[in-house]
Amino acid sequence: MADIVNNYQIKYSEKWGSYLQQEVSRLDKYVTVETGLTGKMAAFDQYGLLAFTEKTTRMRSTTLDEAPTTRRVIHPKIFTKAVGFDEFDAKKLANIDVPVSKTIESLRAAAARCMDKVMIDAFLGANYTGENGTTSVSLPAAQTVAKDFVESGTAVSCNLTVGKLRKALTILQKNEAWSDERRAYGDELVLACSSSQINALLQQQEVSSFDYNAVRALAEGRLDTFLGFRIIRTEQLPVDNNGNRACLAWVKSKAQFGLWEDFKVKLSVRDDLDEALQIRAKFACGATRLQEEAFVKILCKEN
């Protein structure tokens, strides 16, 4: 006679769980967003700087200068994803539903992460300018805080420090990219970094008790500010082969994000695939720096 243990049954879940993931965009509230874009590219024209010349002679001829204008261009990136379910999946899944809603939820989260990555890549990488949008522009070396930057003493590669933040702020202020006037106009100073950088700040003794509490809020997953920066945690910032993460500080009004097509989902029955259910999502977007002077890359050595 067989032992009863051989007849023990398996109880399966009747609900779908979800993998850990970033579910919403963390950067879209801290950039300038333009929606409803069309065409093979979108141009953002800007007026440059003017300077007066001193008049040293009487009744001289007037000299006309051309207006200093520049153009920054975004080329759209198109993203799609389709997930399918066979016509008999519902029957074979028995007491658990076909995960249609979970699929849509997961697609939306994936789109949010992808949009953040598009922004990060654009703000750190090559941008395009010129009449036809074909001239490449890179972030200058002068807009970078080195991985071994220290305010005094021997240079040594390190993670994010208060000194590096002060250096980034100085660069932005020297470029007139950030000032009290810009804050008064509703502009915002932003810093994107990973959990490693937040942890590094928490370990620094020079952080005062008040500032420590502000940074501690970041470690608990809440947005907060430090040294005037609105700090956004993201784990999507690139890390090179030597463990150096490229963090990024910027001024909100000069970080441009464009949407040709916002996230959309369509459900359809595919007659060409034996009436399989297709869940297809799509969106099209792009990003650019409007001015390099409003961005600072901060290299941080992670352990």
Residuewise pLDDT in 10s, the chain (303 residues): 568 877 777 767 777 777 878 888 999 999 999 999 999 999 999 999 999 999 999 999 999 999 999 999 999 999 999 999 999 999 998 888 899 999 999 999 999 999 999 999 999 999 999 888 899 999 999 999 999 999 999 999 999 999 999 999 999 999 999 998 888 889 999 999 999 999 898 887 666 566 666 666 666 656 578 889 999 999 999 999 999 999 999 999 999 999 999 999 999 999 999 999 999 999 999 999 999 999 999 999 997
Q: Is the pTM of this model over 0.85?
A: yes
* pLDDT for 75: 96
The owner of tokens 């939820």 is: 105
* pLDDT for 117: 98
Q: How far apart are the first and last CA of the chain?
A: 61
